[in-house]
């Protein structure tokens, strides 16, 4: 009995140390895990930059990794909870889904690649960023991969930082898809109509550049060099080193030179 009493302080110290480095009442299996303990002050944590698509393709390789990635918000009310197999319980977490930032959302195959197993603790103050985000918002996420059950990445999210409020809309994606399909089908009238509609709506920067370059070529083929130069010029406003836009702009200005000379105008080169 005396020996047991002498060991009691050691036991109490061990238990207190264990309790200090776990989420004792919720996640006893996550021993000494400091991630997410403080959602506002996290000075020592390093999150490795990754592509969400790579994590989704091979979640086991990223198990217990602290990662940082861009993603496009999909649904904010997912209900994928498997408490018997994962650490996430509905009473403690909010679930949402997102696509990789480079997802080609106008294509059905990529549209189906949304990851529905992103979880954030309900008491995390950053959760409001998720709730306030529009669908197709671009965000930066800092998180940890907590599991790979059913060959899916089960991710605990600690921080969500807005990047672009709306990267696409359903209509802009539809117009872009139909426009590019019309280009492939050699239907320039429909292509111009749909791509002009798409470019007036939210689009990812690379997609917007592609739309304007395509419109420039379509207008060139029509002999409408002013409209073609207009679209090439807008590309150069965003990316002055874009060689394709410069080539197109130069071709158009060469065609427009006689008209500009007759009107006494000078080309406005960016």
Kindly report which listed range (56-60, 78-82, 242-246) carries the lowest average pLDDT score. 78-82
Q: Is residue 270 over pLDDT 60?
A: no
pLDDT band at 4 (very low <50, low <70, confident <90, very high): very low
From the CB of residue 194, how many other CB atoms can be counted at a distance below 10 Å? 22
Q: How far is CA 172 from CA 59, 101, 195, 208, in A?
A: 32, 17, 9, 10
pLDDT band at 41 (very low <50, low <70, confident <90, very high): low
170-263 carries CATH number 1.25.40.10 = yes
Q: Give the CA count within 13 Å in the CB-facing half-sphere of 216.
A: 24
CB 218 within 8 A of CB 189: no
Q: Is residue 65 over pLDDT 60?
A: yes
209-223 pLDDT, tens digit per residue, is 999 999 999 999 999
227-240 pLDDT, tens digit per residue, is 999 999 999 999 99
d(CA 123, CA 38): 11
Q: How far is CA 231 from CA 35, 133, 202, in A?
A: 47, 31, 16
Pick from 143, 63, 62: nearest CA to 98: 143
Q: Domain residues of the chain, as ranges?
A: 33-164, 170-263
Tokens of 84: 């018997």
33-164 and 170-263, same CATH topology: no
CATH of domain 33-164: 2.40.50.140
pLDDT for 46 equals: 86
How would you classify the pairing of strands 138-147 and 66-73? antiparallel
Sign of the alpha-carbon dihedral angle for 228, 229, 235, 237: negative
Q: Is residue 31 over pLDDT 90?
A: no
189-198 pLDDT, tens digit per residue, is 999 999 999 9
Q: Is residue 23 over pLDDT 60?
A: no
Tokens of 206: 């690379």
Tokens of 81: 């909870």
């Amino acid at each position: 009995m005396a020996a047991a009493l002498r060991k009691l302080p050691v036991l109490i110290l061990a238990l207190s140390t264990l309790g200090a480095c776990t989420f004792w009442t919720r996640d006893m299996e996550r021993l000494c895990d400091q991630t997410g303990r403080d959602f506002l002050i996290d000075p020592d944590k390093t999150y490795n930059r990754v592509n969400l698509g790579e994590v989704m393709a091979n979640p086991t390789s990223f198990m217990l990794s602290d990662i940082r990635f861009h993603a496009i918000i999909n649904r904010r009310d997912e209900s994928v909870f498997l408490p018997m197999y994962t650490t996430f319980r509905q009473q403690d977490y909010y679930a949402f889904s997102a696509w990789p930032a480079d997802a080609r959302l106008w294509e059905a195959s990529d549209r189906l690649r949304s990851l529905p197993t992103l979880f954030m603790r309900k008491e995390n103050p950053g959760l409001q960023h998720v709730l306030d985000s529009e669908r197709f918002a671009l965000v930066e996420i800092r998180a940890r991969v907590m599991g790979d059950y059913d060959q899916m990445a089960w991710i605990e999210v600690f921080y969500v930082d807005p990047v672009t409020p709306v990267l696409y809309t359903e209509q802009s994606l539809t117009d872009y898809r139909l426009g590019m399909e019309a280009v492939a089908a050699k239907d320039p009238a429909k292509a111009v109509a749909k791509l002009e509609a798409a470019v007036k709506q939210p689009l990812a920067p690379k997609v917007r550049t592609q739309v304007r370059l395509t419109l420039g070529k379509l207008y060139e083929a029509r002999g409408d060099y002013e409209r073609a130069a207009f679209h090439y010029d807008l590309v150069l406003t965003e990316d002055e080193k874009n060689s394709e836009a410069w080539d197109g702009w130069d071709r158009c200005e060469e065609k427009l030179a006689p008209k500009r000379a007759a009107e006494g105008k000078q080309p406005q080169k960016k």
